[in-house]
Structure 1
């Protein structure tokens, strides 16, 4: 509860946290909008492969043009301004930058940037949940050895769930389930970028005018993004993914304790739609939750006395947050990493994975189009099951060629595709899998 005080102290001392941001998309733009108003924080550089897009984003969020016109990082440092660059590795290498915020959303790029930042002694705030789920436990261990922080992004739902879970556990409660809400129907698993806007009630023209990326929005709809986020929470908290994927039960906030009564520690996403398409009463579409247990008569009596939402038995209670502010809240992760040397959520072990699952019958010779595409969606399953199946992670399911047919609904395996084993992302993933095998064998 002291981050603002600590930030003001850094400001007063003339030593703001110097930050490098990689990727000026939606999440990055929201952070940039908020950071302009945060004392003790200096966005020294922004790396993006499309500088006109980055300039347009900064103008859109209200940055004065002069503030991001520094011709170099040296000039940005001297003038408390911001330099734009296409060279993310140069930004990472600058010794004056303390924290790297990775916002690309590209798994391979995220892993490469995180490993480079860790090697240069930088703290890493990993907005890129795709990269975190593909190799987060490996990156977290590399950061620990290097003495830097590797952190989830506060404002994104996984970090907020981790906060609620940690708070409840620190208070002595047993958490039986945690997760988030979303809009879900079973048919959405087959959604493609060509069909996605109908599910959102938009026309293609409306989506185009809004600058909406159909593949990204389809990832949220088809269950992939939910699977990625739940796997990240599992890896950070020890809560377990369901054996055969998320169930997405329809559930309002008033029913959380009843729906999850008797659970023994799982991640789950609740749907804001009934299976017939009706809106759930008191839905949690934009929010996060945790269900916990009152393990004594006295605690359950306290629940009753203070109006805590419980199941009919009074034993299980729920805590939730109705919405999240996305990148507008990211500064808490930056401040926590730099000032407290503490992450706002971090993978501690590999427990959850997201397996590429066929949306339709797939044929040999086809090239997978990855997360949010028309061919596969990501199913959240236990890491142990993923290893046993040899499942292809969704983070590696882009641009790879199928060598044999995969029926609709089946998990795609490593054996079904041709992978570039020399690529950094594949090498990182293989290293994480190799490290997990002795641990599983020891259990």
Structure 2
């Protein structure tokens, strides 16, 4: 509870946490807006494929020109200003940089950036949760081997949900389920970048004003991002994934204790200790009051009579039996909250979430009948969506993770609603992401066999 005080101490000592950021899109820009207010953090460099866009975004959120006009990384490190460029390798290699923030949103590039950072002795905060979903355990292992920290990004829901799970367990409660909210109808699964704003609740003009990427937001809508974030939560917290994918039961915040319990007790879970998402819409599409669409929750158990009596005495909302209750954070602020991760890693040496196991995976599932020769366009696109599966089933079925289902060619037809398998595609095997994924598969296949 004293991160801000510790940041102030670092600022007063003239020794801020020195950070390098790769990617200056929406998430990165949100953090840049807050970094101006955090004197204990110095962004030495920002690199982007288009440095001009990065500078434009920095100006948009209030940066003065001299603050991002350092002529080089050396100049930025010496002066306290920020260098903006396009050479990510130079940024990672620079000795002044302690932490790399990876927020490109490009799964293939993110893995390479993280592994290169580890090799250079840098901590990594990975905003690109899509990469964490399919190689998170591998990235965490590589970081440990290098003696550095790998962390999910606070502000994104997986880290926030994992924080709630940690809170519950540190209080001594047994966690029954965890997840977040979502706006969900089954037909959203077929949504494309052309239809996303109609479902999302924004006009095209509003989306353009916010410089919002329709493909990224479509991934939120079509179930891909919920699957990705659920996998990340499961692998950090040791929770299980539903065998047939997320259930998306309808409910508001106060409905969570009734919903997030086992079916045998009137809920929707296969068993205790799972992840799922709560939809803010009724099955006929009506908005549910006091929803948790933008937030996260943990459901925990009063497994003794004394605990249940305490729930009753303090008038907390429980399920209809008085046994289960939830704690929640109704809103998440995305990149505006990323300073928590920077401070936690830089000051305490602690990640804000890192995969400990491989419990859940995100398979690429077809949105329509696909033909041999078609090129998959990955997360949020026109061809596939992400489907959450237990990692054991995914490995057994040879499912291609959504993060590697981009710009690869089908070598045979695949009907609608089916997971893509390695036998269905011509995979690009010459990437760090592919090689690390195969390492993860080999390691956990052997673990399961043992």
Distance 2:206 2:148 in 1: 44
Q: Give the Å deviation of 1:282.
A: 1.5
The TM-score with structure 1 as length reference comes to 0.98
Confirm or deny: 8 A CA contact 1:150 1:346 kept in the other structure: yes
Counterpart mapping for 1:292-331 below 5 A: 292-331=300-339
Q: Distance in 2 between matches of 1:184 and 1:431?
A: 34
Corresponding residue for residue 99 of structure 1: 99
1:163-202 equivalence runs, <5 A: 163-202=163-202
Cα drift, residue 211 of structure 1? 2.5
Choose which of 363, 372, 380 in structure 1 pairs with 2:388. Answer: 380
Q: How far is 1:256 from its partner?
A: 0.7
Shift of 1:421: 1.4
Q: Which range moves more in the overlay, 86-95 or 204-213?
A: 204-213
Match of 2:272 in 1: 264
Match of 2:266 in 1: none
* Equivalent position of 2:18 in the other structure: 18
1:88 aligns with 2:96: no
Tell me how far apart the structure 1 counterparts of residues 354 and 72 of structure 2 sit (CA, whole Å): 33
- Rounded to whole Å, the distance in 1 between the matches of 2:59 and 2:216 is 23
1:283 paired with 2:286, answer no
Please, which moves more after superposition, 9-18 or 161-170?
9-18
Does structure 1 residue 158 correspond to structure 2 residue 166?
no
Q: Do the aligned residues in 1 keep the contact of 2:302 with 2:324 (CA within 8 Å)?
A: yes
Measure, in 2, the Cα distance between the counterparts of 1:74 and 1:310. 56
The corresponding residue for 2:255 is: 255
1:246-268 deviation line (CA, Å, top 9, x unaligned):
01111111111111233401100
User: Whole-Å Cα distance in 2 between the matches of residues 368 and 261 of structure 1?
Assistant: 37
What's the TM-score once normalised by structure 2's chain length? 0.96
Task: State the alpha-carbon separation in 2 of the partners of residues 202 and 293 from structure 1.
Answer: 38
Q: Contact 2:27/2:334 (CA < 8 Å) preserved in 1?
A: yes
Distance 1:205 1:304 in 2: 49
Aligned length: 442
Match of 2:356 among 345, 348, 353: 348
CA shift for structure 1 position 181: 0.3
Deviations 1:117-140 (A, max 9, x none): 111111100001011112111010
What is residue 149 of structure 1 aligned with on the other side? 149
Deviation (angstroms), 1:437: 1.6
Check whether the contact 2:376–2:383 (CA below 8 A) recurs between aligned residues: yes
Question: In the alignment, is the contact (CA less than 8 A) between 2:26 and 2:212 conserved in 1?
Answer: no
Q: Given the alignment of the two structures, is residue 62 of structure 1 paired with residue 37 of structure 2, yes or no?
A: no
Structure-1 separation of matches of 2:190 and 2:208: 22
How far has the Cα of 1:204 moved from its partner? 4.0
Task: Give the Å deviation of 1:212.
Answer: 2.4
Structure 1 segments of 4+ aligned residues over 3 angstroms from their partners: 201-210
> Could you tell me how far 1:203 is from its partner in structure 2?
4.5
Deviation for aligned residue 1:106: 0.5
What residue in structure 1 maps to residue 126 of structure 2? 126
Corresponding residue number in structure 1 for 2:267: none
Flag structure 1 segments of 5+ consecutive residues without an equivalent: none
Q: Which residue of 1 aligns with 2:112?
A: 112
Q: Is the 8 A contact 2:247 2:277 kept in 1?
A: yes
1:371 is paired with a residue whose SS is: coil
Equivalence for 2:240? 240
Cα distance in 2 for residues equivalent to 1:382 and 1:436: 12
Q: Which residue of 2 aligns with 1:338?
A: 346
**Stretch of structure 1 that moved more, 107-116 or 195-204:** 195-204
Q: How far has the Cα of 1:149 moved from its partner?
A: 0.7
What SS class does the counterpart of residue 300 from structure 2 fall into? strand
Q: Deviations over 1:45-86 (max 9, x none)?
A: 001010111011000110111100001011101110000110
Cα pair distance change 1:138/1:31, threshold 3 Å: same
Q: Can you give the 5+ residue segments of structure 2 that lack an aligned partner in the other structure? A: 263-270
1:206 Cα offset (Å)? 4.7
2:440 maps to which of 414, 432, 436: 432
CA distance in 1, matches of 2:64, 2:430: 43
Alignment counterpart, residue 367 of structure 2, candidates 337, 340, 359: 359
The one-character-per-residue Cα deviations of 1:330-363 (angstroms, maximum 9, x if unpaired) are 0111111111111011101111110000100000
Equivalent residue runs for 1:42-61 within 5 Å: 42-61=42-61
Q: Supply the distance in 2 between the matched residues of 1:317 and 1:217 (Cα, whole angstroms).
A: 31
Deviation at 1:6, TM superposition (A): 1.6
Residues 11 and 39 of structure 1 are in contact (CA less than 8 Å); yes or no, is this contact kept in structure 2?
A: yes
* Counterpart among 364, 376, 384 of residue 368 in structure 1: 376
**1:73 matched to which residue of 2?**
73
